[in-house]
Structure 1
Amino acid sequence: MSERVLIAGCGDLGQRVAQLLLARGDEVYALRRHPPALNNSSIHWLCADVARAETLSNLPAGITQLIYLPTPGGREEEAYRSVFVDGLQHMLAALTESPLRRVLFVSSSAVYGEHGDEWVDERTPPAPLGFNGKVLLEAEQWLSTQPVRSVVLRLAGLYGPGRMQLIERLRAGLVHAPRGHWANRIHVDDAASAIAHLVELREPQALYLGVDDTPLPLNELYGSLAALIGAPAVPEGPAPAGLGSKRLSNARLHASGFRVRWPDARAGYAKLLDTQ
């Protein structure tokens, strides 16, 4: 059965999701503050701001699935809160008359803290170190109290087309990496496919981790990429601030029937570099 899906915050990742949903026959509405001037697809664009409830008064009727993945307007706590907490509340209030069956909230692995070499999965208690993880966790917890079925997908670090800043920094010799700190990545196309998969899943669980099959020590990932592009060796340095070390497991997502196309970020980056 086709769905009428609303993607709230439809940037690059959201548009990749939209194309997957359209390909299987869903009707897709996409909301953002500044929709593209030209629409070369079947996406129905909506101009609104989730942080401003009054702009959400004329949403289309009959929305059955909401995918919530807005982008904050800045890296401050207030900006995060306005879209992830206030905006989510505004959106669900605006959809009270719709036959909404499911909300998929795209969160982040930033809700976890410092775990060293330990494996982290959906049963691991969250303990965010930064304001971003704390705000996202607050939004997750609020959503879990609502009467509509909700699914949370906590994504690891995205990479892919248009997300090659790390490569440029490696070329410039601006990167260092500690030993004993784990890196977790997922290709943006795999992230989009995971979202589309969970929207379609008949009996999803409430929480999934979105990450590839191969967590890597940060120095190993950076060293491999530097060698791939002929960049200087990556010197040892302090761990990234506010990001605890953890090895994320995608076992639950795998058990749901999903498989990533790019199980190892080293191969994913190599393919991206081949196509540049």
Structure 2
Amino acid sequence: MGKRCSVLIAGCGDVGCRLGLQLSRDGWRVYGMRREAAGLPVPILPVKGDLSGAECPRTWPNGELDYLVYAASASQHDEAGYRQAYVAGVRHVLDWLEQRGQRPRRLLFISSTGVYGQHDGEWIDETSPTEPSGYTGRVMLEAERQVLGCGLPATVVRMGGLYDPTRPWMQNQVRAGLRVERDPPQYSNRLHRDDAAALLAFLLQADARGEPLDDCYLGVDDDPAPLHEVVDWLRARLGVTHWAEQSMTRRAGSKRCSNARARALGWAPRYPSYRDGYATLGERRD
């Protein structure tokens, strides 16, 4: 059996915890960093720290660190908040690695398909132009470039909209009868949160085996679908028949993202379509 790998997940929230638990089950030593680290699930080792501050956390692991995953999310949803969470946060983590003399084998940065500005239903892959129209995509792209230019091996994973049927944001919108635009169709891209964690684990484990990784992957399922199709399916599943006057608010853009590169490496989503991910909705539990 090879050496036990270690990983620090900076910004260890929901997806970070799912990733950490999976890697722990596979024998990895996992550190999770966040402000309230005491609530992290066992056996993730807590590192209490604030990515927005320049001071290295006192419980930052000593010695060799094989991998670092940057999985933060913005707590303040404006441009300043995004810059603090991604650009400043990445800079701080890179400084802390340097201070500790640590050179991980690879950094993994969780980004977003929001870096693409296409809006006419085009098919998108990792080589497509990144010309975001809003500050969220522009800031994320700046953070990506910071990671990819840091001098360490690095990979960015551009995630689609992450969902979990137990977190009913989308279902609540559907139950409220909110309308969606049908013509032209607004394509949306998504990935179940368990599949997001599994993709990250797959990439880390592939690198640990010595398989070459690209510097970018798209984290989406197999089924980029028009939003109205998703809503119609959920309405039928949930038994919703009324329509409200209000429309569903969503980010601008309409594109179809391909996961072919990740699949070519051997990964496959457990939930290839929203139909699979939401399959248990509406079922009776006696």
The answer (yes or no) to whether the contact 1:158–1:188 under 8 Å persists in 2 is yes
Contact 1:186–1:210 (CA under 8 A) maintained in structure 2: yes
Q: Distance in 2 between matches of 1:234 and 1:6?
A: 46
Is there any run of 5+ residues in structure 1 with no aligned partner, and where? none
Structure-2 residue corresponding to 1:136: 140
Q: Distance in 1 between matches of 2:71 and 2:267?
A: 20
Match of 2:196 among 186, 191, 194: 191
* Cα drift, residue 3 of structure 1: 1.2
Are 2:151 and 1:147 equivalent residues in the alignment?
A: yes
Contact 2:86–2:143 (Cα < 8 Å) also in 1 = yes
Distance 1:262 1:214 in 2: 10
Task: For residue 204 of structure 1, give the secondary structure of its aligned residue in structure 2.
Answer: coil
Which one of the candidate residues 208, 215, 240 is aligned to 2:217? 208
Letter in 2 for 1:145: G
Q: Is the 8 A contact 1:160 1:272 kept in 2?
A: no
Residues 36-47 of structure 1 mapped to structure 2, 5 A cutoff: 36-37=38-39, 40-47=41-48
- For 2:20, the equivalent position in structure 1 comes to 18
C-alpha separation between the residues in 1 aligned to 2:109 and 2:236?
37
Give the residue type in structure 2 aligned to 1:246: K
Mean Cα deviation higher: 234-243 or 261-270: 234-243
Deviation at 1:51, TM superposition (A): 0.9
- When the two chains are superposed, the root-mean-square deviation of aligned CA atoms in Å is 2.1
Alpha-carbon distance, 1:199 to partner: 1.1
Deviation per CA, 1:77-132: give whole Å up to 9, x if none: 11110120011011011012113111000000000112412210001011112211
Residue deviations 1:178-201 (CA, integer Å, cap 9, x gap): 332101111000000001011112
- Is 2:137 the counterpart of 1:164? no
Contact 1:57 1:94 in 2 (8 A): no
Distance 1:275 1:73 in 2: 36
Which of these residues, 65, 68, 71, is aligned with residue 66 of structure 1? 68
2:105 paired residue number: 101
CA apart distance, 1:58: 4.8
**Which residue in 2 is equivalent to 1:30?**
32
**Local SS of the residue matching 1:91:** helix
For residues 100 and 41 of structure 1, the distance between their equivalents in structure 2, rounded to whole angstroms, comes to 24
One-letter amino acid of the counterpart of residue 159, structure 1: Y
Change (3 A) 1:257 1:237: farther
Distance 2:245 2:230 in 1: 13
Letter in structure 2 aligned against 1:170: V
Alpha-carbon distance in 1 for matches of 2:49, 2:71: 14
Map of 2:253 onto structure 1: 244
- Partner secondary structure for residue 262 of structure 2: helix
Task: Name the residue aligned to 2:114.
Answer: 110
Q: Contact 1:106/1:155 (CA < 8 Å) preserved in 2? A: yes
Q: TM-score, normalised by structure 2?
A: 0.90
Question: 2:229 maps to which residue?
Answer: 220
Count of residues in Structure 1 that have an aligned counterpart in Structure 2: 275
Classify 1:134/1:45 alpha carbon distance in 2 versus 1 (closer, same or farther; 3 Å): same
1:52, distance to aligned residue in structure 2 (A): 0.2
Distance verdict in 2 for CA 1:27–1:80, change over 3 Å? same
Aligned partner (choices 4, 7, 10) of residue 9 of structure 2: 7
Secondary structure at the aligned position of 1:151 is classed as strand
Per-residue deviation, 1:240: 5.0
Asked if the contact 1:213/1:263 (under 8 Å) is kept, the reply is yes
Which stretch shows the higher mean deviation, 236-245 or 65-74? Answer: 236-245
| TM-score computed with the length of structure 1 as normaliser | 0.93
Residue 125 of structure 2 corresponds to residue 121 of structure 1: yes
- In the alignment, the residues of structure 1 paired with residue 276 and residue 242 of structure 2 have an alpha-carbon distance, to the nearest angstrom, of 19
Contact 1:182 1:215 in 2 (8 A): yes
> Do the aligned residues in 2 keep the contact of 1:177 with 1:237 (CA within 8 Å)?
no
2:269 pairs with 1:269: no
Residue segments in structure 2 that go unaligned for 5+ positions in a row: none
